Structure 1
Amino acid sequence: MNVVLSAVSGISASLGEDAVVGITIVILVFLFSMQRFGTDKVGLSFAPILILWFALISGIGLYNLVKHDIGVLRAFNPKCIYDYFKRNGFKQGWLSLGGIFLCITGSEAMFADLGHFNVRAIQISFSSVVFPAIVIAYIGEAAFLRKFPDKASNTFYACVPGHLYWPTFVIAILASIIASQSMVSGAFSIISQAQNLGCFPKVKVVHTSTKHKGQVYIPDINYMLMIACILVSAAFKTSTKMSHAYGIAVVCDMTITTFLVCFIMLVIWKKNIWLVALFLPFGCIELLYLSSQMTKFTKGGFVPLVLAFFLTALMGIWHYVQKERYMFELNNKISVESLGKLVNKENINRMPGIGVLYSELVQGIPPIFSHFIANIPSIHSVVVFVSIKAIPIATVALEERFLFRRMEPRGHNIFCCVLRHGYRDVLGDHEEFEFQLVHYLKEFITQETIMHEAEATTTTVEQITSIHIHTNENEVAHISHGYTIDDTLTKEGKHSSNGSSSGSITMLRVANSYSLSSSHMEGVEKEIKFIEKAMEKGVVHMLGEAEVVANPKSSIFNKIVINYVYSFLRKNFRQVDKVMAIPHNRLLKVGMTYEI
């Protein structure tokens, strides 16, 4: 936003301030409208434009250095820093640090590209291209100002040779759009990661690249950012006023990052405290710049701090309530013994069909299930509790996506299922999901029987190489994968890049072909036919509508946070039924109140 306004300000003298703001808004609308195409597509022209931009500013810098005053190179002498403060006085010199700091703003955008490039690529490009070009450009501007000190208000465009003015103006706008693109992409990446950590409400995340998992697009956040940028640009109007807010935002970001790195070095990396102490001077320098920038607080610098406080409070509230809600479900989950008593009640009817109840719990039955039975004393003939878990890989192989476990007692046909999906997997087609769920449930029933019979005959997992089920002399069904939820819970999330599990799924291979006994085979076929019959009667999706409220004995602050702020966020962000695109005629919502 600031870089776009700065680039367009080159025509402020001829068109006026209002025209600059109008053009900036048009560029911002164009920039945010292009985000839906993804960085892969809009980034094809980035490299040529940036190379041309850095070549242009370094060339203009050398031109001004040679033409006006090559003596400015003496400024590399560290003694000039002492002379500057001695000449201007400490107070005036300290106040000017805020403006000096603006020379390095924009460098923080490099870190947004860590999702697109590796660290080594950024280090090489910055050291060999970006840093030399920017330093030469600043040296050239300093040489120009030595001869024309009255041009300080618009030095960059003033020092451009006349025949290069308009090409420079066009390339500057294109370069500013690219710089803004990095910041917008970085915002999407941060929000996506915060959502995965449970620190942000559910939003639609679109992965725009099959090669880089860091390239994401979030439609809701995109348009919120666009509106915010337009409002701020219209309010500040000039890059000089906006620099007050921009400078404080960047120096706060750098200072916080430095001290967090120190904390990580001590706690996570276990580095020697003296090695960490060598890193602290960077933080002290940034604190000095921060103290200078804070003098601009009342001149617009408060804007990023207010926005940061608002966003941090929102994320903190969401994370706190979600954690407390999960702990409530975990502490009040239905035990195996209670489940058996609940299902065996005389007034409980078993309806034909399959009931799918969504829950965040991986193990155990959520308390909302008992609440459902208490109000509607009926359950489906087959019940599956589904917990959807996202995994940070592109896609999960279909045969490894559904992980089942049977809930005792065995004859009640109640199962738990962990549905794992990668960021490229689409969960929107409910019919396909139902077909896959039933298909792999039947496969699980068969494999579970094989495992039990293998254990009964003291067959060990290390001896297992292949499993064959002989249904008759002419038909042999080969099962290549066997797994249960219990095999994955302790190592959930450890996966290789191609989507296969790494240690989380126990592959069953029997040394010699193993045949199920006829009695076991009949039991498997009977249960599978029962599942198929239930499938024919239809699948009903059940979703817990848990209303989270504060405990009446809790503090007023806790009541405001839970009853109003969290409730508002939950009602205005995405729910599971929207994620799965479940039709209303197949959805049953069950309400319950959680007091935390």
Structure 2
Amino acid sequence: MYIVATLAAIVASQASISATFSIINQACALGCFPRVKVVHTSRKFLGQIYVPDINWVLMILCILVTTGFQNQSQIGNAYGTAVVIVMLVTTFLMILIMILVWNCSWFLVFIMTFLSLVVECTYFSAVVIKVDQGAWVPLAIAAVFLLIMYVWHYGTVKRYEFEIQSRISMAWILNLGPSLGLVRVPGIGLVYTELASGVPRIFSHFITNLPAIHSVVVLVCVKSLPVYTVPEDERFLVRRIGPKNYHMFRCVARYGYKDQKRDDEFEKKILDSVFLFAKLESLLDGSSDSDDYSLYNQETIHSDLNDTFSSVVDITVLSNESVSDLGTSPAHMEHMEIDEIGFLTRCRDAGVVHILGNTIIKARRDSGIYNKICIDYLYAFLRKICRQHSVIFNVPHESLLNVGQVVFV
């Protein structure tokens, strides 16, 4: 019995650990939890992950629960409460799936809900009276994680709202001229931002304090979508910002909650997408960006390009007839392409610099005590201990430039 119980405990603990890792990983991908280190233990199976920080938390909680309870019945009460609450949550989520996804009839939804709740509410009524006998432990742990997720979401939304309201218009960029009012040095600057439209405030903060900017600027926006995965050929969406001689682009990288963000070739894939866009742009009209930019427009353009051209990016595969149909002579088209691609190639060879914005938010002096506690203490602590974007995207330290600014919300 001892051997069987030990093996059963090993199986149950492994299932609990794997489920916890998976949930935390998906919550981080959706921006609902502070960024933590995720180690992919298998190159063959994508779902096998290991989260060291969460593993330490589970170990500490396991030791505290084991040593804190006085008898086995309290541990049983805590376990039973957790299981019953999971059953109730699963039932309510299944109701949403049946209504919104499966489009089941209301009668079938009512029957399924009634039969499930009859059993689950019976169990729930039995564990409610045992809250003071150990059942409070899973409720307390859930409350702590709920507080962490709420504070992280609250601070992230406040920071994003400030960036939306303070983003730079295209008129401001156009008034600077092709040189952006600065010296354009050889190289490519990848400016990371959370905005999918407009120019982030961190960019204006950078160019107003430094006398130079790179010859090619790419605004990189990484978005986590509420989908399982995004195909590799649909991940990067590129568009030009301003006139062609400004050499400014926007690249939106889209990931699903099961996609692995840590990519050793992230920089290469971004540059390849920009080169692809430059080649295809020589065949299409329209090379400007506006403030009403949206992901839908980007997705439409990208789908049109995929339908028109092969995934093998070689401009020579197009026939003379297809080039003539676009209203441009093949000789002129080749000249435009060589100029643009040659310029991008020289800038890439000169070096690539990753410019990350480090926006620190603080509560205003006239803010309430609730806002000050959430922003100045809890969210600031979570931002300090979470992993940086430079680590997630494997940015080399020798080509990393952090641009910091303090904003009050």
Assess same fold via TM > 0.5: yes
Cα separation, partners in 2 of 1:438 and 1:183, compared to 1, 3 Å: closer
Matches within 5 A, 1:12-23: none
Runs of 4+ more than 6 Å apart: 491-494
Q: Distance in 2 between matches of 1:217 and 1:491?
A: 37
Aligned partner of 2:337 in structure 1 is: 524
Q: Distance in 2 between matches of 1:487 and 1:542?
A: 22
In the alignment, is residue 507 of structure 1 matched against residue 320 of structure 2? Answer: no
Aligned partner of 1:564 in structure 2 is: 377
CA contact (8 A) 1:321 1:566 kept: yes
Aligned partner of 2:37 in structure 1 is: 204
Contiguous gaps of at least 5 residues in structure 1: 1-167, 456-485, 495-501
Cα separation, partners in 2 of 1:351 and 1:360, compared to 1, 3 Å: same
**TM-fit CA distance, 1:346:** 8.1
Q: Distance in 2 between matches of 1:297 and 1:559?
A: 33
Q: Distance in 2 between matches of 1:553 and 1:342?
A: 36
CA contact (8 A) 1:396 1:425 kept: no
CA contact (8 A) 2:168 2:199 kept: yes
1:261-280, Cα deviation, whole Å (9 max, x unpaired) = 44555566565555444323
SS in 1 for 2:361: strand
In the alignment, is residue 584 of structure 1 matched against residue 393 of structure 2? Answer: no
Number of equivalenced pairs = 388
Q: Distance in 2 between matches of 1:546 and 1:436?
A: 26
CA contact (8 A) 1:438 1:531 kept: no
Q: Distance in 2 between matches of 1:283 and 1:426?
A: 39
CA contact (8 A) 2:323 2:330 kept: no
**TM-fit CA distance, 1:310:** 0.9
Determine which of 185, 189, 192 is the counterpart of 1:355: 189
Cα separation, partners in 2 of 1:492 and 1:233, compared to 1, 3 Å: farther
Cα separation, partners in 2 of 1:272 and 1:447, compared to 1, 3 Å: closer
Aligned partner of 1:489 in structure 2 is: 295
CA contact (8 A) 1:401 1:421 kept: yes
CA contact (8 A) 1:355 1:542 kept: yes
Aligned partner of 1:42 in structure 2 is: none
In the alignment, is residue 296 of structure 1 matched against residue 296 of structure 2? Answer: no
Q: Distance in 1 between matches of 2:99 and 2:371?
A: 33
Q: Distance in 1 between matches of 2:402 and 2:209?
A: 13
1:176-213, Cα deviation, whole Å (9 max, x unpaired) = 21122112211122222222222111123344566765
Aligned partner of 1:110 in structure 2 is: none
CA contact (8 A) 1:487 1:504 kept: no
Cα separation, partners in 2 of 1:394 and 1:261, compared to 1, 3 Å: closer
Q: Distance in 2 between matches of 1:331 and 1:225?
A: 40
Q: Distance in 2 between matches of 1:530 and 1:402?
A: 21
Aligned partner of 1:230 in structure 2 is: 63
Q: Distance in 1 between matches of 2:168 and 2:387?
A: 27
1:505-527, Cα deviation, whole Å (9 max, x unpaired) = 63314784537533343232222
Cα separation, partners in 2 of 1:208 and 1:491, compared to 1, 3 Å: farther
Q: Distance in 2 between matches of 1:437 and 1:227?
A: 41
Aligned partner of 2:27 in structure 1 is: 194
Opposite residue 220 of structure 1, the aligned amino acid is D
Q: Distance in 1 between matches of 2:194 and 2:304?
A: 19
Aligned partner of 2:79 in structure 1 is: 246
Q: Distance in 2 between matches of 1:209 and 1:562?
A: 38
Aligned partner of 1:37 in structure 2 is: none
Determine which of 114, 134, 150 is the counterpart of 1:280: 114
Q: Distance in 1 between matches of 2:333 and 2:305?
A: 25
Opposite residue 345 of structure 2, the aligned amino acid is E
Cα separation, partners in 2 of 1:342 and 1:492, compared to 1, 3 Å: closer
Instruction: State, as a whole percentage, how many aligned pairs show the same letter.
Output: 40
**TM-fit CA distance, 1:426:** 6.7
Matches within 5 A, 1:291-330: 291-330=125-164
SS in 2 for 1:514: helix
Q: Distance in 1 between matches of 2:211 and 2:201?
A: 15
**TM-fit CA distance, 1:563:** 1.5
Q: Distance in 2 between matches of 1:181 and 1:252?
A: 21
**TM-fit CA distance, 1:411:** 0.8
1:236-289, Cα deviation, whole Å (9 max, x unpaired) = 264323112112222222233334444555566565555444323532443343
Cα separation, partners in 2 of 1:302 and 1:328, compared to 1, 3 Å: same
SS in 2 for 1:574: coil
Contiguous gaps of at least 5 residues in structure 2: 310-317
Q: Distance in 2 between matches of 1:388 and 1:315?
A: 20
Q: Distance in 2 between matches of 1:273 and 1:530?
A: 62
1:308-331, Cα deviation, whole Å (9 max, x unpaired) = 111111112212222232233223
Q: Distance in 2 between matches of 1:286 and 1:428?
A: 44
CA contact (8 A) 1:245 1:301 kept: yes
Flag the structure with larger Rg. 1
Higher helix residue share: 1
CA contact (8 A) 1:210 1:394 kept: no
Cα separation, partners in 2 of 1:287 and 1:553, compared to 1, 3 Å: farther
CA contact (8 A) 2:198 2:293 kept: no
**TM-fit CA distance, 1:558:** 1.6
Matches within 5 A, 1:168-567: 168-208=1-41, 214-236=47-69, 238-262=71-95, 265=98, 271-278=104-111, 279-280=113-114, 282-343=116-177, 347-389=181-223, 396-397=231-232, 401-420=235-254, 427-429=262-264, 432-452=265-285, 489-490=295-296, 506-509=306-309, 512-514=321-323, 516-567=329-380
Matches within 5 A, 1:56-95: none
Aligned partner of 1:43 in structure 2 is: none
Q: Distance in 2 between matches of 1:306 and 1:421?
A: 33
CA contact (8 A) 1:213 1:393 kept: no
Matches within 5 A, 1:40-55: none
**TM-fit CA distance, 1:565:** 0.8
Opposite residue 53 of structure 2, the aligned amino acid is D
Cα separation, partners in 2 of 1:548 and 1:285, compared to 1, 3 Å: same
Q: Which moved more, 1:408-417 or 1:502-511?
A: 502-511
Cα separation, partners in 2 of 1:309 and 1:489, compared to 1, 3 Å: same
Q: Distance in 1 between matches of 2:42 and 2:230?
A: 13
Q: Distance in 1 between matches of 2:203 and 2:217?
A: 11
Give the TM-score normalised by structure 1: 0.58
Opposite residue 56 of structure 2, the aligned amino acid is Y
Cα separation, partners in 2 of 1:487 and 1:567, compared to 1, 3 Å: closer
